[in-house]
Amino acid sequence: MSEETVKVLDTTLRDGEQTPGVALSPEEKLEIARKLDELGVDMIEAGSAITSAGEREGIRKIANEGLNAEISSFSRGVKKDIDSALDCDVEAVHLVIPTSELHIKKKLQKSPEKVKEMAVETSVYALDHGLTVELSAEDATRADPDFLKEVFQAGIEEGVQRVCVCDTVGMMMPEQIHELFSNLVKDIDVPVAGHCHDDFGVAVANTISAVRAGAREFHATINGLGERAGNAALEEVALALSEFYDYETNVDLESLQEVSQLVEQYTGIPISPTKAIIGANAFAHEAGIHTHGVLAESTTYEPISPEVVGQKRRLIFGKHTGKHAIKDELERKGLEPSEEQVEEVFQRVKDLGDRGKLVTDAEWSAIVDDVMGRSLEELVELQELTVTSGDNVTPTASVKVRFKDREFTEAGTGVGPVDAAINAVRKVVEGISNISLQEYHVDAISGGTDAMVDVVVKLTDGKRIIDSRGSSEDIIKASVQAMLNGVNRLLWDKKLGEEEED
């Protein structure tokens, strides 16, 4: 059976940006749009032009970038929204009209007939101005099915090119979605899209059901961002359609991880380690039986190769790790450990795990270096750290480090002294390497006024992602130590790799 192509409308820059706490600058929106275009999405909903001048600037930048994807703006059923979209040079509008009785009566306070007229008038207005129109029914899963068809047919008669069913607050289960779309597509002569929200945790399943029932377009966001519980996650839908059904998208699956990380960086919304496909633990293995199995045959505990979605397999070392995994990892690094050395590494890892400690990448490497007689050279050395903070004073930090016989000094401000110190260290690190901070969290705090604080950071040099820890009675010192421990680990591993190549 030949595969059918399903189009993808990415709404990360509109619905995704409506995630509480997320606000993207025009430049950030443009960079994400470029990556989405490279990813292969067919349409990019760049924002809602009526929102603000900054929003219009961002949409206009994207629309004039010459991307392959169709660029659209969200629009309500009012002409001023369409005028704002036209001012941004977009090719299309995602024209959203409430269709449920609840929305029509309580929100719009109009009659159903007036709402249908509004849909037709604004559709005609947009079409007359040369825009492609995707007519979307808001809260469609709680609408009367006959009225839903009436609104769509009225728009189609005027020339709208696509229609979309929105499960605005996730009010249907997959079998209900399948029935709704099956009935709709029989009477609709233009492509039908599905736009699903994750309020009940089934947005991805609902989107797949919509496609199986005849939808030939779906809306989604990178990382499943969106209001409340979020939208359908693009990466999950695209992979599922590719792996399990006779549908294909134009999405380059190998680029999913890269785009996901960029969106995480700019939105500030961290990806759960257990997030399907693009989470840090999606292809990570710690338990002895799992690591043994995956090393013998990857498909024992991996449904797909991690490289398919731009990921890499990670062996996590902790209390559940077996000796086989440790021996294999040491040999993979080009080492030739004795049985005694494998046993020593094994016992040290177990000891950390039994004390409730995450064995970070930096600590794992430090254990290996010590047992194997390799000394980690402190390539970046902290010389000085000064932090000022107080009432009516902007928290400020200055950091001086030594790297390759040179001193580097940077200052940073923040919402608090820890934030200021991290920002100062981040500037220093980025000045001497391409290493960047991806994640920061306090891992553990002991009791008492002299509590020991554990800070764990996630760092990347563009090729690898590692975890690193810093411990101190002072959370600022622990934070700086965690950063520099990770930086030294990445730089040292890179140096060892270069020496081995020589």
239-290 per-position pLDDT tens digit: 999 999 989 999 999 999 999 999 998 998 988 889 999 988 888 776 555 5
**Burial grade of 372 (CB within 10 A; 0-12, 13-18, 19 or more):** middle
> Is the CB of residue 75 less than 8 Å from the CB of residue 85?
yes
- Per-residue model confidence as pLDDT tens digits over 110-147: 999 999 999 999 999 999 999 999 999 999 999 999 99
Shortest CA distance to 486 belongs to which of 357, 380, 351? 380
The two domains 4-267 and 380-501 share their CATH topology (first three levels equal): no
- Per-residue model confidence as pLDDT tens digits over 1-11: 457 999 999 99
pTM for this entry = 0.77
**Burial grade of 268 (CB within 10 A; 0-12, 13-18, 19 or more):** exposed
The rounded distance, in Å, linking the Cα atoms of 471 and 152 is 61
- Domain boundaries of the chain, sorted by first residue: 4-267, 284-371, 380-501
Contacts of 57 (CB under 8 A, 6+ apart): 26
Q: How far is CA 2 from CA 5, 65, 165, 247, 248, in A?
A: 10, 34, 26, 9, 10
**Burial grade of 160 (CB within 10 A; 0-12, 13-18, 19 or more):** buried
Query: CATH classification of 4-267 is 3.20.20.70, yes or no?
Result: yes
Local confidence band at 295 (pLDDT 50, 70, 90 cut-offs): low
CATH class of 380-501: alpha beta
The tokens of 274 are what?
């257990």
Percentage of the residues of the chain whose pLDDT score is greater than 90: 58
> Is the CB of residue 200 less than 8 Å from the CB of residue 189?
no
